[in-house]
Structure 1
């Protein structure tokens, strides 16, 4: 099995490195896709990270990078995305026909609001924050409720809670969800994160 991790706008971070190592096993290969082609970045704040993301990559280019990584996979694939990476994964699995894609897990995919017409090719678990600056989370949850393969979780945390570089980082939430992901993969039973 292959796990493809799609980072948020911060790109490669210590958190992503640790997550990749913790998910990698003898039978599971982990690949990390980031907006900066594998070059670590240092940002003074989230606005600087967003500006760099939009200048150096952007949403469409990130979607293409994720789609290319999926196309190159020869094993069963689980997609694990964060923010811009989760949104890119969502678009990349739209009406896709690759039977190797087994599950897509996305944390706080804010751009999903612009792509509610996506028809995912695999089961999807989306983990939303309690609120977003640019849209009502509950409206998106309602819009996604009709999609049979999509399971949504609304947390009590804020956008970025899995990333220690985010002002909304929550150690307890990051630990809880990382353990959930790791346990599901170890059991070779990727499913909803209930």
Structure 2
């Protein structure tokens, strides 16, 4: 797997790790809303790789090595930028890859990591992140029961929550599970989080 990185002109403060759709125009638009320099990591080589359907994107992601390969490349990226990174946001496969990196000492300098619907997190419940990490799950998932996972993660003292009435992909306009109202709610929270850095 060759992770494509889209670097800002200034040292990055926010790391955005995409889902299997990669660096789409929607991700670029998402990044532009933040008041801090953003570093975008996509699982695909080549600029702004796009797939017309989620199934095609998923198969391409698996062909690139899946979550394990994505996590390995992210580790190098995080270590190379640890002096400036303060926040990380991951979506789906990107959230799972970030979770696998959350014990990396290079993550300790981050003030907050927010992971949206990282379905493979369920296979690594014993992870103890090096920085504050918020886990946000959709209520509806095809492969597992999110309510059970969230309850178990909370018992392990993780900051985990379930978004009522939501489907996997609620933050991504390219996903069948997209929900504008839910996206807007979390976008406000994310912007508020990064505004603190600007004010400091």
TM-score by structure 1 length?
Answer: 0.89
Q: Residue 171 of structure 1: which of 180, 187, 192 is its match?
A: 180
Aligned match of 1:8: 19
Retained in 2: the 8 A contact 1:160–1:167?
yes
Quick one: distance in 1 between partners of 2:174 and 2:127?
Answer: 30
Matches within 5 A, 1:1-194: 2-23=13-34, 25=35, 28-73=36-81, 74-94=83-103, 96-98=104-106, 99-148=108-157, 150-155=158-163, 156-188=165-197
In structure 2, the gaps of 5 or more residues are 1-11
Q: Is the 8 A contact 2:14 2:37 kept in 1?
A: yes
User: Structure 2 length normalisation: TM-score?
Assistant: 0.86
TM-superposed deviation, 1:41: 2.2
**Alignment deviations for residues 147-176 of structure 1 (CA, whole Å, 9 cap, x no partner):** 43x311211210001111111111111111
Structure 1 distance, partners of 2:31, 2:52, is 24
Tell me the alpha carbon deviations over residues 120-156 of structure 1, each in whole angstroms, 9 at most, x when there is no partner.
Answer: 11111111101211111122112211343x3112112
Contact (CA 8 Å) 1:12, 1:41: kept in 2 or not? yes
Q: Secondary structure at the match of 1:70?
A: helix
Partner Cα separation in structure 2 for residue 85 and residue 75 of structure 1? 20
Q: Displacement of 1:77 after TM fit?
A: 2.3
Cα distance between partner residues in 2 of 1:34 and 1:57: 13
Aligned pair count reads 184
Q: 1:47–1:76: structure 2 CA closer, same or farther, 3 Å change rule? A: closer
Aligned to 1:192: none
> What secondary structure sits across from 1:43 in the alignment?
coil
C-alpha RMSD over aligned residues: 1.6
**What is the CA-CA distance between 1:38 and the residue it aligns to?**
4.8
In structure 2, the CA distance between the partners of 1:181 and 1:38, relative to structure 1 (3 Å rule), is farther
